[in-house]
């Protein structure tokens, strides 16, 4: 090779063949190649390779494109597949939900022959324990909004509920709240209080066992409850009162809900 300016680097030879060399350098290389027969042969061989490859496969680009390579079709198929996967997933979830619902039903809803009043008693006493100790938030809706409270809970329970007047026995309404019943359906709790701060609750939950019962007394860990089933509902009057006193109050409550003929 003849000195620096004309020295041809290997990568320049390729860039020349591939048309990726600046025009100025291109001219220099052409001039230099005149005296370099071996380099010129290489260059010709490389260029021939490019042409040969283009001749071998270039025509493929002009062939009609098969339908299976249509991007819109592929996109539609993929989104269909995604949709099916999502559907399969939701069907699986539905299955899990149904199975879970069935199991929950088995577990929570009292089948025939099961102690429905006992179930209502346990729910009523649990709710009593949880909420009567509350100082700030014993109820969701206070007695000031009694009309709203009654309307709201009646709607949620699907049963025309009333708030018994317990003033004759020294108790006034504090308010009420919505609760989940044992089978997950809505239940209601009303809270009453006397001048000494003692509290009572009336628990009302749907009862679709078809059973109707008279008063039944339950005592769970010092909490007393009178339970009765009527009109497709379960009622529980709960408090830490002597049995006789609670019975008197329960009779008042019962009278409030007794169907008026």
Partner 1 sequence: MDSFLQQLEGWIPNLRRYARALQRDAERADDLVQDCLERAISRRHLWRADGNTRAWLFTIMHNIHANEARRTATRPLHAPLEDHENRLASPPAQGGQLLGRELAQALDQLPPEQREVILLVALEGMTYGEVAETLGIAIGTVMSRLSRGRERLRRLMEEGGPALRIVR
Question: Per CB under 8 A, does 11 bind partner 1?
Answer: yes
- CA dist., res. 200 & res. 242, Å (int): 12
In the complex with partner 1, the residue whose CB is nearer, 59 or 197, is 59
Q: Exposure of 182 by Cβ count < 10 A (0-12 exposed, 13-18 middle, 19+ buried)? A: buried
- Which three-class secondary structure state does DSSP give residue 227? strand
Question: Per CB under 8 A, does 75 bind partner 1?
Answer: yes
Question: Per CB under 8 A, does 55 bind partner 1?
Answer: yes
Length of the chain: 261
State how far the alpha carbon of 227 is from the alpha carbons of 3, 59, 82, 124, 214, in Å.
112, 90, 54, 9, 8
Contact with partner 1 (CB under 8 A): which of 78, 89, 130, 214?
78
Question: Per CB under 8 A, does 85 bind partner 1?
Answer: no
Question: Per CB under 8 A, does 62 bind partner 1?
Answer: yes
Question: Per CB under 8 A, does 84 bind partner 1?
Answer: no
Half-sphere exposure of 26 (CA within 13 A, CB side): 10
Question: Per CB under 8 A, does 7 bind partner 1?
Answer: no
Question: Per CB under 8 A, does 83 bind partner 1?
Answer: no
How many chain residues are in contact with partner 1, going by CB under 8 A?
36
Contact with partner 1 (CB under 8 A): which of 7, 20, 86, 219?
20
Whether the CB-CB separation of 21 and 43 falls below 8 Å is answered with no
Pinpoint the alpha helices (H) of 133-160.
146-157
**Residues of this chain, 213-252, that bind partner 1 according to CB under 8 A:** none
Half-sphere exposure of 208 (CA within 13 A, CB side): 14
With CA atoms as reference, report the closest residue to 153 among 110, 227, 206. 206
In the complex with partner 1, the residue whose CB is nearer, 10 or 221, is 10
Distant-in-sequence, close-in-space partners of 67: CB < 8 Å, separation ≥ 6: 73
In the complex with partner 1, the residue whose CB is nearer, 52 or 95, is 52
Give the chain's radius of gyration (CA, Å).
Answer: 43
Contact with partner 1 (CB under 8 A): which of 2, 37, 56, 221?
56
What backbone torsions phi and psi does residue 139 show, to the nearest 5 degrees? -135, 165
Question: Per CB under 8 A, does 66 bind partner 1?
Answer: yes
Q: Which stretch binds partner 1 (CB under 8 A): 50-58, 103-111, 134-142, 221-229?
A: 50-58
Question: Per CB under 8 A, does 46 bind partner 1?
Answer: yes
Question: Per CB under 8 A, does 109 bind partner 1?
Answer: no
Contact with partner 1 (CB under 8 A): which of 23, 24, 69, 133?
69
Residue ranges in contact with partner 1 by CB under 8 A: 10-11, 14-15, 18, 20, 42, 44-46, 48-63, 65-66, 68-72, 74-75, 78
């Amino acid at each position: 090779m003849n000195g620096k300016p004309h020295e041809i680097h290997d990568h320049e030879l390729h860039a020349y063949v591939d048309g990726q060399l600046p025009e100025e350098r291109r001219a220099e290389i052409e001039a230099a190649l005149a005296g370099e027969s071996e380099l010129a042969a290489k260059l010709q061989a490389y260029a021939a390779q490019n042409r040969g490859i283009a001749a071998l496969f270039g025509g493929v680009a002009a062939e009609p494109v098969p339908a299976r390579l249509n991007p819109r079709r592929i996109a539609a198929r993929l989104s269909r597949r995604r949709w099916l996967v999502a559907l399969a997933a939701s069907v699986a979830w539905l299955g899990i939900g149904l199975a879970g619902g069935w199991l929950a039903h088995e577990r929570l809803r009292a089948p025939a022959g099961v102690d429905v009043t006992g179930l209502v008693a346990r729910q009523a006493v649990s709710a009593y324990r949880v909420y009567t100790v509350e100082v700030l938030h014993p109820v969701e809706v206070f007695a000031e909004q009694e009309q709203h409270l009654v309307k709201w809970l009646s709607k949620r329970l699907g049963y025309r509920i009333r708030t018994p007047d317990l003033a004759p026995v020294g108790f006034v309404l504090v308010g009420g709240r919505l609760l989940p019943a044992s089978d997950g359906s809505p239940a209601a709790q009303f809270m009453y209080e006397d001048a000494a701060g003692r509290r009572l609750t009336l628990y009302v939950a749907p009862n679709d066992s078809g059973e109707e019962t008279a008063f039944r007394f339950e005592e769970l860990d010092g909490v007393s409850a009178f339970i009765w089933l009527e009109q497709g509902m379960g009622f529980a009057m709960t408090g830490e009162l002597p049995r006789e006193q609670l019975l008197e109050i329960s009779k008042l409550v019962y009278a409030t809900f007794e169907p008026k003929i």
